[in-house]
Structure 1
Amino acid sequence: MIGKKDSVFDDKGKAQGILYLLESFDFVFMAQLMTTIFGYTNNLCLALQRRDQDTINAMRLVTLTKDQLQKMREDGWEILLNKPSCKIKTFVQQVSYLHHFRVDVFIKVIDLLLQELDNRFDEVNMELLRCMACFNPKDGFSSFDKEKVLKLATFYPSDFANIDLMDLECQLDIFIGDMRSDEDFQNLRDISSLLVKSVETKRDVVYSHVVLLIKLILILPVATASIERVFSGMTFVKNKLRNRMGDQHLNDCLVTFIEKDVFLQVSDDDVVNRFEEMKTR
């Protein structure tokens, strides 16, 4: 409407330019490609964001999504071009255009996504998550697998020595029988509620090694998120103008940057007084 009606000449030119870009093959191709990719990854994204996390199915979706993206990379080029909104094959018949859209765009975008999934969900991480899911109390601990729980404990050698693993193995047999026979543990929905109920009923004293492992499971996502926040914050703190700062200075800056909500509650007067106290010492 802006491009056709009597508008300001500059606005009219911009509108016509934007319309030309929106109708170009480049835009339509990229829009169709991303729509297809988002379609394949949508279920996985939703599964990973659910509050009531089903880890086993989420890990299965990771594998299925990676397989589907790999299949798309190998066989999806012609299918994408033949879709109604992208059916302009004469445009990409020339070698230069064919190479650009297929290699530099189509394959590169899929490879980047596959690489990101591999980095975040490698075999070690996926096996760790599968083992963690064995403590899920839903449906009467139907996911419980003693061997996988013992394998999970081996990921924490500083907390579980060989003698501790032997004790844990014996505790697990008694623990799972106790959980399945006690009505207080029948309607639990997640691992955090299992830990709370265990503390309330003093099971943390009876099954000390089991409860320690549950605590480590619950701490892991928080620790991982904290590490990601630190690396993300580092790109802001240690920029080109401050790339020679020492480790201690960097550490202090990162703490104040990441925990800025806490430090914003500290008044300037308190900071000044603190520095004055340090000077007098």
Structure 2
Amino acid sequence: MGELKSGQGMNQEITLKRYGDTRWSSHYGTLISIITMFSSIIDVLEIIANDASNSEQRFEANSTLKFMQTFDFVFTLYLMKNILGFANELSQALQRKDQDIVNSMKLVSICKLGLQRMRKHGWNSLLIQVSSFCEKHFISVPVMETMFLTPGRSRRRAQEITNMHHYRIDLFCAILDMQLQELNSRFNESSVEFSELNGIGDLAQKMVETNKHKVFSLVYLLVTLALLLPVATATVERVFSAMNYVKNRLRSRMGDEWLNDNLVVYIEKDVFDCIDNEIILQHFQHMKSHRGILD
């Protein structure tokens, strides 16, 4: 139909995606697909409404068709698409296996800032987007200065508010406030303060300072384990290197206990160099009685 650009590697995922409740990005992809394929979706719904095999399918398709061709649907579609667009990068970062806590906290702050700017300055651009889409698909756009009429109610019982108030205050601002409140609740100040950390060592220290190591004991255990692994690995490598000097070709029949004692002395030679020989002699002398006195 000429609505989509064709070419190698393009339009391979243009389909109605199934969204998941735990995946923000899946909702965002679904909304993008609906906007891109809106004309085709309307055509399919019209075919089902006219030619479906049973009345239930025809009724459901006809109801969906009428709802999708309203200003309310298009307004909500673009509003949620823009909101989830800010959270999409954050969602992708939180799903990665190689999680970067510092980067994720920065993305949280960027997402909050983007939603706040959208609430303050994004109304006009959103209304232009929605109006342009409605005009393209022959959907009537209400005059914002006229009184808002609740669907299904007579004009005499209509609320005393304008369309501008309904769409901007009751929907646009209210939904953005809900999103910001949810982000502030999930990523409060006590969690965002971790964004200033420079490494996993600082993370462990901050968890102890804020008593988070008691609340998230398993996380703290993993952090401490990650800090100990490099040290433990280096120590093991030192032991194997020292073993080549202590148990060499001439001492190949050295027993485990004797090997262990020699390795300790060799590896910790910096400590033993500080011990006076007289102290060692006296300790050995008092271990058991000897025939002679060690000098």
Structure ID, larger Rg: 2
TM-score where L is the length of structure 1:
0.49
Greater helix proportion: 1
TM-score where L is the length of structure 2:
0.47
